[in-house]
Amino acid sequence: MKVAVVGATGMVGEVMLKVLAERNFKIDELIPVASEKSVGKQISFKDKLYTVHSLSEAVEKRPDIALFSAGGDTSLEWAPKFEAVGTTVIDNSSAWRMVEGKKLIVPEINAHLLTKEDKIIANPNCSTIQMVLVLAPLHKAFKIKRIVVSTYQSVSGTGLKAVQQLENEMNGVKGDMAYFYPIHRNAIPHCDVFLENGYTKEEMKLVNETQKILQDPSIAVTATAVRIPTSGGHSESVNLEFEKEFDLSEIRNILSNTEGVVLQDNTDTNTYPMPAFAHDKDEVFVGRIRKDTSVKNGLNLWIVADNLRKGAATNAVQIAEYLVKNNLV
Ligand code: 2RA
């Protein structure tokens, strides 16, 4: 298997390499790819050094799989070029997610939709992946009518510049700003850019991607996305309204049997998910499970995951594993 990692020197690209190594993904030839300024540099993978290639060099090598995390513009321009030489692209940008005919995959939920013909496969946004992984089995059992989600997002979701901004501010050092405002000792209700409807792009990703993955445009979703001074993972307060009645024991039972989900839910022992503990883990953690007593069939959840792992790199590598296992590449 020839595997290209496009954006190999970026934050998500580095985690992709780490996850590929950890999961022992079978690679005969690794092709790290990055922008012109990194071409020729060396990166290390499983104790060996590899030279970083340009996008056109990588296309010439005709990889079987290309994991992309290099931004939407690069993906729009280059994913079709890889597709043209027979590569299957798994893309972490938002470029293809809502394009009709392109599949938006969280393997535990909908990998069965994939066929050999899918040459550009979209990885959902981090905040969507962790939420839908928990919601999919609950939707199946009790049918979700409405979702109200508020996110508490890690600076690592913005990128290295934001991680550095937080570190600089904590150390009292002046430096470049990734945000319009200080992030240390702050909460910024502004993730990605504002749209005409008053929501941010990040908030609308939660709306549109959730409906697409759960294959149900009738689910009403409203979101508020907030950046907070953590770097290990995203947290989400999720309020649900179901069509059917449920018992909390049924919810806990379903979630404790859901692949990729870990229940951390015991108020007696102060057990609940937190980003400091979800960091560097591949699972999605859920807790604070309780009825919303203000509405019929209402439920509250608190969901946490490492946004660079299950929210990006791990999910992409799991898609690649599914393709290989089912002879789809
Ligand atoms: C974030 N949506 O802002 C991003 C990362 N994909 O956290």
Of 53, 139, 191, 234, catalytic: 234
Residue 102 is predicted with a pLDDT of: 98
- Nearest alpha carbon, ligand 1 atom 5: 157
User: 314: pLDDT confidence band, cut at 50, 70 and 90?
Assistant: very high
Ligand 1 pocket test, pick from 307, 308, 310, 314 with the greatest ligand atom count within 8 Å of Cβ, gives 307
Residue 127 is predicted with a pLDDT of: 98
Catalytic residue list contains 112 = no
User: 196: pLDDT confidence band, cut at 50, 70 and 90?
Assistant: very high
Residue 44 is predicted with a pLDDT of: 96
Ligand 1 pocket test, pick from 11, 91, 125 with the greatest ligand atom count within 8 Å of Cβ, gives 125
What share of the chain in percent tops pLDDT 90?
100
Asked whether residue 222 falls in the same domain as residue 153, the answer is: yes
Is 288 annotated in a binding site? The answer is no
The CA 244 to ligand 1 mean position distance, Å, reads 33
- pLDDT digits 0-9 by tens, 148-172: 999 999 999 999 999 999 999 999 9
What residues are in contact with ligand 1 under a 6 Å CB criterion?
125-126, 153, 157-158, 191-192, 202, 307
Is 155 annotated in a binding site? The answer is no
Is 326 annotated in a binding site? The answer is no
The CA 295 to ligand 1 mean position distance, Å, reads 31
Asked whether residue 88 falls in the same domain as residue 191, the answer is: no
- Nearest alpha carbon, ligand 1 atom 1: 157
Residue 173 is predicted with a pLDDT of: 98
Number of separate domains in the chain = 2
Residue 156 is predicted with a pLDDT of: 97
Mean pLDDT of 7-21: 97
Atom of ligand 1 nearest to the CA of 234: 7
- pLDDT digits 0-9 by tens, 109-141: 999 999 999 999 999 999 999 999 999 999 999
Of 126, 139, 191, 279, catalytic: 126
What share of the chain in percent tops pLDDT 70?
100
Residue 70 is predicted with a pLDDT of: 96
φ, ψ for residue 240, nearest 5 deg = -120, 150
Is 12 annotated in a binding site? The answer is yes
- Domain harbouring 31, CATH code: 3.40.50.720
Is 37 annotated in a binding site? The answer is yes
Asked whether residue 146 falls in the same domain as residue 12, the answer is: no
Mean pLDDT of 281-302: 98
- Domain harbouring 254, CATH code: 3.30.360.10
Asked whether residue 44 falls in the same domain as residue 150, the answer is: no
Catalytic residue list contains 234 = yes
The CA 232 to ligand 1 mean position distance, Å, reads 13
Asked whether residue 131 falls in the same domain as residue 178, the answer is: yes
User: 283: pLDDT confidence band, cut at 50, 70 and 90?
Assistant: very high
Asked whether residue 152 falls in the same domain as residue 290, the answer is: yes
Asked whether residue 108 falls in the same domain as residue 176, the answer is: no
Asked whether residue 135 falls in the same domain as residue 111, the answer is: no
Give me the domain span that covers residue 38. Answer: 2-124+312-325
Asked whether residue 109 falls in the same domain as residue 73, the answer is: yes
- pLDDT digits 0-9 by tens, 72-87: 999 999 999 999 999 9
- Nearest alpha carbon, ligand 1 atom 3: 157
- pLDDT digits 0-9 by tens, 92-102: 999 999 999 99
Residue 123 is predicted with a pLDDT of: 98
Asked whether residue 73 falls in the same domain as residue 94, the answer is: yes
Asked whether residue 151 falls in the same domain as residue 255, the answer is: yes
Asked whether residue 136 falls in the same domain as residue 261, the answer is: yes
Residue 303 is predicted with a pLDDT of: 99
